[in-house]
Protein backbone atom coordinates (compact mmCIF):
# COMPACT_ATOMS: atom_id res chain seq x y z
CA UNK A 1 0.00 0.00 0.00
CA UNK A 2 1.54 3.26 -1.07
CA UNK A 3 0.91 6.86 -0.17
CA UNK A 4 0.10 7.72 -3.79
CA UNK A 5 -2.81 5.27 -3.77
CA UNK A 6 -4.64 7.35 -1.18
CA UNK A 7 -3.52 10.89 -2.03
CA UNK A 8 -1.74 13.58 -0.08
CA UNK A 9 -4.48 14.71 2.29
CA UNK A 10 -4.62 11.29 3.91
CA UNK A 11 -2.05 10.08 6.37
CA UNK A 12 -1.30 6.44 5.60
CA UNK A 13 -0.10 4.27 8.44
CA UNK A 14 0.78 0.62 7.93
CA UNK A 15 1.84 -1.75 10.65
CA UNK A 16 2.53 -5.45 10.28
CA UNK A 17 2.86 -7.60 13.34
CA UNK A 18 6.26 -9.22 13.90
CA UNK A 19 6.41 -12.92 13.02
CA UNK A 20 3.23 -12.84 10.98
CA UNK A 21 1.65 -16.24 10.53
CA UNK A 22 1.28 -17.49 7.00
CA UNK A 23 -2.20 -17.19 5.56
CA UNK A 24 -3.65 -19.18 2.70
CA UNK A 25 -5.29 -16.77 0.24
CA UNK A 26 -5.10 -15.69 -3.39
CA UNK A 27 -2.53 -12.85 -3.23
CA UNK A 28 -4.07 -10.94 -6.14
CA UNK A 29 -7.50 -11.03 -4.49
CA UNK A 30 -5.98 -9.89 -1.20
CA UNK A 31 -4.32 -6.97 -2.97
CA UNK A 32 -7.63 -6.05 -4.65
CA UNK A 33 -9.45 -6.26 -1.32
CA UNK A 34 -6.96 -3.95 0.42
CA UNK A 35 -7.12 -1.50 -2.48
CA UNK A 36 -10.92 -1.52 -2.38
CA UNK A 37 -10.82 -0.78 1.35
CA UNK A 38 -8.25 1.98 0.83
CA UNK A 39 -10.32 3.63 -1.90
CA UNK A 40 -13.42 3.50 0.32
CA UNK A 41 -11.44 5.05 3.17
CA UNK A 42 -10.15 7.78 0.87
CA UNK A 43 -13.67 8.56 -0.37
CA UNK A 44 -14.91 8.67 3.24
CA UNK A 45 -12.29 11.33 4.11
CA UNK A 46 -12.80 14.14 1.55
CA UNK A 47 -11.15 16.66 3.86
CA UNK A 48 -8.35 14.36 4.93
CA UNK A 49 -7.73 11.99 7.79
CA UNK A 50 -5.82 8.88 8.67
CA UNK A 51 -5.95 5.41 7.15
CA UNK A 52 -4.42 2.63 9.20
CA UNK A 53 -3.79 -0.80 7.74
CA UNK A 54 -2.59 -3.29 10.28
CA UNK A 55 -2.07 -7.02 10.64
CA UNK A 56 -1.96 -9.19 13.73
CA UNK A 57 -2.01 -12.85 14.73
CA UNK A 58 -4.59 -14.44 16.96
CA UNK A 59 -7.18 -17.08 17.56
CA UNK A 60 -10.68 -15.91 16.81
CA UNK A 61 -13.19 -15.91 19.61
CA UNK A 62 -16.40 -14.74 17.93
CA UNK A 63 -18.01 -13.27 21.01
CA UNK A 64 -14.87 -11.39 21.99
CA UNK A 65 -14.26 -10.17 18.43
CA UNK A 66 -17.78 -8.77 18.26
CA UNK A 67 -17.12 -6.55 21.27
CA UNK A 68 -13.52 -5.48 20.68
CA UNK A 69 -12.86 -3.87 17.32
CA UNK A 70 -9.36 -2.72 18.23
CA UNK A 71 -7.80 -5.92 19.43
CA UNK A 72 -9.16 -8.49 17.00
CA UNK A 73 -6.78 -10.65 14.95
CA UNK A 74 -6.25 -10.44 11.18
CA UNK A 75 -5.60 -7.50 8.88
CA UNK A 76 -7.82 -4.48 9.31
CA UNK A 77 -8.31 -1.16 7.57
CA UNK A 78 -9.38 1.73 9.75
CA UNK A 79 -10.26 5.26 8.70
CA UNK A 80 -11.25 8.48 10.42
CA UNK A 81 -13.93 9.29 7.84
CA UNK A 82 -17.65 10.04 7.72
CA UNK A 83 -18.68 6.65 9.09
CA UNK A 84 -21.92 4.78 8.50
CA UNK A 85 -25.21 4.33 10.32
CA UNK A 86 -26.81 0.92 10.95
CA UNK A 87 -29.09 1.10 7.90
CA UNK A 88 -26.16 1.77 5.58
CA UNK A 89 -23.96 -0.88 7.21
CA UNK A 90 -26.67 -3.47 6.59
CA UNK A 91 -26.46 -2.94 2.83
CA UNK A 92 -22.82 -2.24 1.94
CA UNK A 93 -21.87 -5.81 1.01
CA UNK A 94 -24.69 -6.06 -1.56
CA UNK A 95 -23.40 -6.15 -5.13
CA UNK A 96 -23.96 -2.82 -6.93
CA UNK A 97 -25.00 -1.01 -3.75
CA UNK A 98 -23.39 2.43 -3.74
CA UNK A 99 -24.08 5.87 -2.32
CA UNK A 100 -21.58 7.48 -4.68
CA UNK A 101 -22.46 9.64 -7.68
CA UNK A 102 -23.02 7.96 -11.02
CA UNK A 103 -19.68 7.10 -12.55
CA UNK A 104 -17.90 7.36 -9.18
CA UNK A 105 -18.60 3.92 -7.77
CA UNK A 106 -19.83 0.58 -9.07
CA UNK A 107 -20.83 -0.71 -5.66
CA UNK A 108 -18.72 -3.81 -6.20
CA UNK A 109 -15.77 -3.01 -3.92
CA UNK A 110 -17.06 -4.49 -0.67
CA UNK A 111 -18.79 -7.22 -2.61
CA UNK A 112 -15.34 -8.30 -3.85
CA UNK A 113 -13.97 -8.09 -0.29
CA UNK A 114 -16.83 -10.26 1.00
CA UNK A 115 -16.52 -12.81 -1.81
CA UNK A 116 -12.76 -13.06 -1.36
CA UNK A 117 -12.96 -13.53 2.41
CA UNK A 118 -15.71 -16.17 2.17
CA UNK A 119 -13.87 -18.02 -0.60
CA UNK A 120 -10.81 -18.06 1.68
CA UNK A 121 -12.79 -19.56 4.57
CA UNK A 122 -12.56 -16.36 6.60
CA UNK A 123 -14.80 -13.69 8.11
CA UNK A 124 -15.25 -9.98 7.62
CA UNK A 125 -16.53 -7.64 10.29
CA UNK A 126 -17.50 -3.97 10.06
CA UNK A 127 -17.41 -1.42 12.84
CA UNK A 128 -18.49 2.12 12.12
CA UNK A 129 -19.64 5.24 13.87
CA UNK A 130 -21.20 8.23 12.11
CA UNK A 131 -18.78 11.12 12.01
CA UNK A 132 -16.02 9.07 13.64
CA UNK A 133 -14.88 6.51 11.09
CA UNK A 134 -14.95 2.92 9.99
CA UNK A 135 -12.93 -0.21 10.68
CA UNK A 136 -13.06 -3.28 8.47
CA UNK A 137 -11.59 -6.43 10.01
CA UNK A 138 -10.61 -9.36 7.83
CA UNK A 139 -10.07 -12.73 9.51
CA UNK A 140 -8.04 -14.98 7.22
CA UNK A 141 -7.08 -18.57 7.97
N1 LIG B 1 -14.86 3.35 4.80
C2 LIG B 1 -16.13 3.73 4.54
N3 LIG B 1 -16.67 4.79 5.19
C4 LIG B 1 -17.93 5.18 4.94
N5 LIG B 1 -18.76 4.56 4.06
C6 LIG B 1 -18.28 3.51 3.38
C7 LIG B 1 -16.94 3.02 3.59
N8 LIG B 1 -16.76 1.94 2.81
C9 LIG B 1 -17.91 1.76 2.14
N10 LIG B 1 -18.83 2.69 2.47
C11 LIG B 1 -20.22 2.78 1.95
O12 LIG B 1 -20.55 1.53 1.36
C13 LIG B 1 -20.94 1.71 0.00
C14 LIG B 1 -20.55 0.49 -0.79
O15 LIG B 1 -19.11 0.37 -0.85
P16 LIG B 1 -18.44 -0.41 -2.06
O17 LIG B 1 -16.96 -0.36 -1.89
O18 LIG B 1 -19.06 -1.76 -2.17
O19 LIG B 1 -18.89 0.40 -3.34
P20 LIG B 1 -18.45 1.88 -3.79
O21 LIG B 1 -17.24 2.31 -3.03
O22 LIG B 1 -19.65 2.75 -3.72
O23 LIG B 1 -18.06 1.65 -5.31
P24 LIG B 1 -16.67 1.03 -5.85
O25 LIG B 1 -16.09 0.24 -4.72
O26 LIG B 1 -17.05 0.22 -7.00
O27 LIG B 1 -15.82 2.20 -6.21
C28 LIG B 1 -20.26 3.01 -0.41
O29 LIG B 1 -20.93 3.62 -1.50
C30 LIG B 1 -20.37 3.83 0.86
O31 LIG B 1 -21.66 4.39 1.03
MG1 LIG C 1 -15.58 0.97 -2.87
Does the beta carbon of 110 lie inside 6 Å of ligand 1?
Answer: yes
User: How are beta strands 76-79 and 133-139 bridged, if at all?
Assistant: antiparallel
Instruction: List the beta strands (DSSP E) in 6-139.
Output: 10-15, 49-54, 76-79, 123-129, 133-139
Does the beta carbon of 120 lie inside 6 Å of ligand 1?
Answer: no
Strand partners, 53: 14, 77
pTM over 0.85: yes
35: DSSP letter? H
Cα gap 95→114, rounded to integer Å: 10
Question: Which residue has the CA at smallest separation from atom 20 of ligand 1?
Answer: 107
Block means of pLDDT (10 residues each) for the chain, length 141 residues? 83 89 92 94 95 86 58 72 96 97 94 95 91 93 84
Amino acid sequence: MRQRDVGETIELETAATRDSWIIEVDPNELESALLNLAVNARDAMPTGGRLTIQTSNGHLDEAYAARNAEVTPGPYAKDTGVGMDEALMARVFEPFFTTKAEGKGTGLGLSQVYGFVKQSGGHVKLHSELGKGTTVNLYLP
